[in-house]
Structures are given as C-alpha cells and as structure tokens.
Amino acid sequence: MRRGMYVYAWDLWQEGTAAVTGRLRDAGLNAVSLATAYHAGKFLRPHAPGGKVWFPEDGTVYFRPDPTRYGRLQPQAAAMVAEYDALPALARDAGDFHVTGWTVGLHNSRLGALHPDLCCQTPFGDPLINALCPSQPEVRRYLTALCLDTAAQPGIGEIAIEAPGFQTYRHGHHHEFELIALPEAVETLLGTCFCAACLVRIKAAGLDGDSLAGQARRDLEAFFADGAAPVLNPQTDPDWRALQACRADTVTSLVAEVRAALTPAVCLAVIPSVQTPNALCWREGSDLAALAKVADRLEMPAYQTGPAAIAQDMDQVRA
C-alpha cells in the first residue's frame, strides 16, 4: 500500500532531502507528493532549521521547465530552483519512494495577470485573474504541456492535477473583500464564466449562452441593489443544470486529453475539488464519476477536522 505525504521543495531544500525522507521512511511512509507547480501562500514550518515562515512565489514551478513545450502560457521556475532541484535530489536520496508531481493546474494568478484574456470572467466580463479558463484552447495546451514536462522529470511516477477546471468566485485571494454575505447561488453565478471560448462550448451544447449570462447579470444586479432579491438556483434550474453539464464536460475532456498525451508509464490522478464539503465540486465543473473514468484515480482532499466529518464527506463522494 502506498502511504505518502504532501511535501514542498523549500522544506526538502532547507531541512535536507535525506533528512526529511529518512523521517518519513521511519514513520512507515513510502511515497511523497511534491508540489511541482504551486501557488502563493504563507507557510509556518515548525521543523525548519532557519526561518520559520516561507512565502512561495506565486504561480511558479519547482523544476526546470522546457519552454519549447509551451505556447503563450509559459511556466516560470521559482528562484530557489537555481539552487535546489527537488526531483533529482529525491531520485538520488530517496529512490525507494514513489514520487507524485502535485500540479496545481488552472489556478495561477501569475499567468492570469499576464494573460487576462485567458482567464475566467464574471458574467459582467471582469477577468478573474486567479483562474485560467479551461474552455480556452491555449489554457488546455498549457495544462497538457505542464503535465508532460513534469512527467519527463527524474523519478516521476504520477501526476496529480489539482484545480483541473473551473474555480468558484471565492478562492482565498489576498484580502478578498465583499463586506456583504454572498448566498451560495450568488457566489455561483458570479463565478460562472461566459468568455468567448465558454460561449462556443455552451452553443455546441445547444444552449443560449448570451441569454444565460443575461439572466445571471439581472439576478446579480437585483441582489446587489437590495441584497434580498431571490436569484435563480443554478443547481436546479433546468437550463443551468444543462450549463453545469457542459462545464463538467469541458473539465472531463481536458483531463482525458492530458491522460491521452501522457506516457502510459506515468499515472494520472485528479484532485477534483478544493470545496468543503466535496459535494460542492459541481461548481468547479468536477463530475466525480466522469473524472474517475478518464483519470487513473481521484484524490479527495478532506479539509474538515475530525474523523466523523471526514467520513460523512467521503460517504457523499462515494455516492
């Protein structure tokens, strides 16, 4: 059985690859999932020998990418990679470990800020720079290239894509301000993309994207005006259910494209949601049953505290 831990390159670098993996081995672990493409954050590190807090560079990768694989969306290695390249170090010091390249996919504010035309938008057309849009052909090309590039690094046995598709309006951006409570339906509508590439897919699904976007704008404007206006339920309204199915197909087909492009020797896992509970993953375009068919496995995060809450969530996931 594989028992692994999520690890970060900066911890391996500063504590020592052999020291960290030795400790994991002593604890009975035989796998690591290394963040090979990752977002910003602020990490408290109780074990770190030097500084205790680390701010990773936003939207960077922890290997040396091959720029010729990519189009407009070019990955950037974190500055620390010049001094420490984690995957060759793991292959050298922990060759007995199974290594997964934990790949944050379409959540990349660095690339989003550079290319707002490839981002998801609100129904009002505001680019959400934290979220690259999975309907955009250039974004699909980027994710496939990123996974192939990562798979070509030393020792990689698996790629695990986190954020393979759409993201909800809220995501934990720096100082996200609303100052009003956003009901679930409002947050869903605000985070529903009708960019040109989405409209093409929506039309191909036999839906009228312009009319759905107009409906979203009207309901959101009414809510913004008095905070009480009822808004349509995007989970139960028939047209919106069809739209959710179209969005799910956008994400499932993207994962299938990555799987088809990857060498069969490398497994493909999908972390389909960052929602709590996971049942809210439909808002990200994640259809768990469909994703389980095109990926080799799903990796479900459990952000709850305590076994009871986690067990309940996992029961829902299995259903």
Whole-number Å distance between alpha carbons of 110 and 104: 13
Which stretch in 66-74, 197-205, 218-226, 264-272 sits in contact with Zn ion by CB under 5 A?
A: 197-205
Contact 30, 45 (CB under 8 A): no
Do 130 and 193 meet the contact criterion of CB atoms below 8 Å apart?
Answer: no
Q: In the bound complex, what is the minimum distance in angstroms from residue 245's beta carbon to Zn ion?
A: 16
200 membership: H or E segment, kind and range: helix 196-204
Of 133-141, 155-163, 174-182, 302-310: span binding Zn ion (CB under 5 A): 133-141
Residue 20 or 213: which CB sits closer to Zn ion? 213
| Piece of the chain touching Zn ion by CB under 5 A; list 79-87, 189-197, 230-238, 261-269 | 189-197
Under rule CB under 5 A, residue 201 binds Zn ion: no
Residues 36-95 touching Zn ion, rule: CB under 5 A, are 39
Tell me: does residue 251 bind Zn ion (CB under 5 A).
no
Under the criterion CB under 5 A, does residue 198 sit at the interface with Zn ion? yes
Q: Is there binding between residue 195 and Zn ion (CB under 5 A)? A: yes
133 makes contact with Zn ion (CB under 5 A) = yes
Q: Does 193 bind Zn ion (CB under 5 A)?
A: yes
- Say how far apart CA 10 and CA 86 lie, in whole Å: 9
> 69, 65, 91: which is closest to 77 by C-alpha?
65
Q: How far is the CB of 262 from Zn ion (least distance, A)?
A: 25
Q: Which is nearer to Zn ion, 6 or 47 (CB)?
A: 6
Of 261, 30, 52, 236, the residue nearest 142 (C-alpha)? 261
Q: Is the bond leading into 127 cis (omega within 30 degrees of zero)?
A: no
For the chain, state the CA radius of gyration.
20
- Residues found near Zn ion in the complex (CB under 5 A): 39, 133, 135, 193, 195, 198
